[in-house]
Amino acid sequence: MDLSEYRRRHKCQLKTGVGMGLRNVCLLQPRKLM
């Protein structure tokens, strides 16, 4: 599963310029960022 696909399913939208740290948080805790 692609990261973009995963983010689409969990509706986890990240702003441009955000570091990979938040991206990892998005992958680990998608519910919290929904």
Question: Encoding tokens for residue 30?
Answer: 């998608």
Position 2 scores a pLDDT of 72
Domain ranges (residues) in the chain: 1-34
Cα separation, 32 vs 14, whole angstroms:
13
Tokens 């992958």 locate to: 27
**Cβ atoms of 6 and 20 closer than 8 Å:** no
Q: What is the pLDDT of residues 4-34, one digit of tens each?
A: 776 666 555 555 445 555 555 556 555 554 4
Cα separation, 18 vs 1, whole angstroms:
21
Cα separation, 13 vs 24, whole angstroms:
13
Cα separation, 28 vs 3, whole angstroms:
12
